[in-house]
Structure 1
Amino acid sequence: MDIHIDEDTCIGAGQCALTAPEVFTQDDDGYSTVRPGKEDGGGSALVREAARACPVGAVRVTERVG
């Protein structure tokens, strides 16, 4: 899976980091980021739930093709 955070949409609500803290964190400005090395979701079953929890839809999870 691939995880993308739309930086222009993110408001820093932190729902993704609360839902899947092993994959998401917040930067110094309070905006969500994917933890280094976890760009593929790190096997977390909570990544999709974290994307659904984002109040502005800034987190997108897609399946890798190929």
Structure 2
Amino acid sequence: MSRITGKVKWFNNAKGYGFIEQPGSSDIFVHYSAIQGDGFKTLEEGQTVEFEVTQGPRRGRRPRK
């Protein structure tokens, strides 16, 4: 699966989710559990991120980072 680069539109630390803007497509839902890395799993508005899109267990597309 190819990796996509996007920018964080917004991320709510209290709720643990947000959205990533994807070039030429709709925004992608991101949950804190999909964030890879050590420590507190968060994203900053405007941050550039690289991710893979997977189908979530509920509905819609979500990133696998």
Query: Is TM (by shorter chain) over 0.5?
Result: no
Please give the TM-score of this superposition, normalised by the length of structure 1.
Answer: 0.28
More strand by share: 2
More helix by share: 1
Q: Which has the higher contact order (CA 8 A, sep 6+)?
A: 1
